[in-house]
């Protein structure tokens, strides 16, 4: 069964460093999402992406964040200058079309900022 994959599974970085989290959505999906979950807290929407552009973003998704689909398979989340409060699980999700609504999630990347 097709699945969303994410790499790395765990990333440790120092405050102020740039990180890139990678996702490979399901191959025929068109809509892509990033969410984050700070330990013990709710899952929070960050951004959605369709047709090579951002379609929605939350207040969390400020200028420090960017997303890119550099080729036909990868979908990346970049944090330019990490802060301690960026430590969280980051989940990528995809769906075939918006009206299907059901999103398929990757296993997540645990980001630890020290």
Binding residue for other proteins (CB under 8 A) from 91, 94, 111, 113? Answer: 91
101 binds other proteins (CB under 8 A): yes
Residue nearer to other proteins on the CB measure, 15 or 54: 54
Among 21, 82, 106, 113, binds other proteins (CB under 8 A): 106
CB of 6 to other proteins, least distance (A): 8
Does position 105 interact with other proteins (CB under 8 A)? The reply is yes
- From residue 32 to residue 61, what is the string marking binding to other proteins with x (rule CB under 8 A)? -x-x-----xxxxx--x------xx-x---
Q: What is the DSSP secondary-structure string of the chain? A: ----EEE-SEEEE-TT--EEEEEE--TT--EEEEEEE-TTS-EEEEEEEETTEEEEE-TT--TTEEEE--SSS-EEEEESS--GGG-EEEEEEEESSGGG---EEP--EEEEE-
């Amino acid at each position: 069964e097709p699945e969303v994959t994410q790499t790395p599974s765990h990333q440790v970085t120092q405050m102020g460093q740039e990180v890139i989290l990678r996702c490979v959505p399901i191959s025929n999906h068109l809509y892509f999402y990033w969410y984050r979950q700070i330990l013990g807290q709710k899952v929070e929407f960050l951004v959605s992406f369709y047709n090579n552009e951002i379609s929605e973003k939350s207040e969390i998704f400020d200028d420090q964040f960017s997303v890119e689909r550099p080729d036909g398979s990868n979908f990346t989340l970049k944090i330019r200058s990490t802060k301690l409060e960026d430590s969280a699980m980051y989940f990528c999700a995809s769906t075939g079309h918006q009206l299907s609504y059901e999103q398929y999630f990757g296993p997540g990347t645990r980001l630890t900022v020290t």
